[in-house]
Amino acid sequence: MKMRRHTRQRQVILEELRKAPNHPTAAELFGLVKVQVPRISLGTVYRNLEQLCEDGTIRKVPGTGNETRYDGDLTEHWHLRCRECGHIHDVHGPVSVETAGKTGLRLGWVALEQRLELIGLCPDCQTSGVAAKSEIKQEPYS
Ligand SMILES: [Zn+2]
Ligand SMILES: [Zn+2]
């Protein structure tokens, strides 16, 4: 295993990420970290986040496009994601892909990644009327 320097900057970045409620982007984290480490640069925050991902200390939220969002919570959970505002809500507890994972294991597969997310509209975006009412009526889970 490679030895990595655990700098204070890294520690602050990790702490802020774990405290943040909404899977922040590097830029959002930069704003939070700067309060404690005023001389830090966005590039440093970004590099540290990439290293933390490589280490497996944190992970990227899959499919967030060019605005990569980071997740400091490695426990098994899945996401509710709002299509309009990008809000990501963690849902802990049993996930239905678990069965898929177990089946894969039984068949000798190695799971590299697990993705389960529900993309929709958060309560705020529904009331602000960003989506057509007709679209909301198509809700299949009610
Ligand atoms: Zn929303
Ligand atoms: Zn999460």
Q: What is the percentage of the chain residues whose pLDDT exceeds 90?
A: 37
- Whole-number Å distance, alpha carbon 127 to ligand 1 midpoint, is 10
Q: 23 C-alpha to center of ligand 2: Å?
A: 6
- Collect all residues with Cβ–Cβ distance below 8 Å to 82 and sequence separation of at least 6: 88, 119, 120, 121, 122, 125
Q: Which residues contact 70 (CB under 8 A, 6 or more apart)?
A: 17, 23, 24, 25, 26, 29, 49, 52, 53, 58, 59, 60, 61
pTM of the complete model: 0.68
Q: How far from chain centre, in Å, is Cα 53? A: 12
For the residues 115-138, what does the mean pLDDT come to? 74
User: Does the structure show a pLDDT above 50 at 119?
Assistant: yes
Distance 119 CA to ligand 1 centre (A): 10
| Confidence band of 3 (pLDDT split at 50, 70, 90) | very low
**Terminal-residue alpha carbon distance, the chain:** 49
Gap from CA of 90 to ligand 1 centroid (Å): 14
Q: Which pLDDT does position 1 carry in this prediction?
A: 44
Nearest ligand, CA 130: 1
Q: What digits encode the pLDDT tens for the residues 124-134?
A: 888 887 665 65
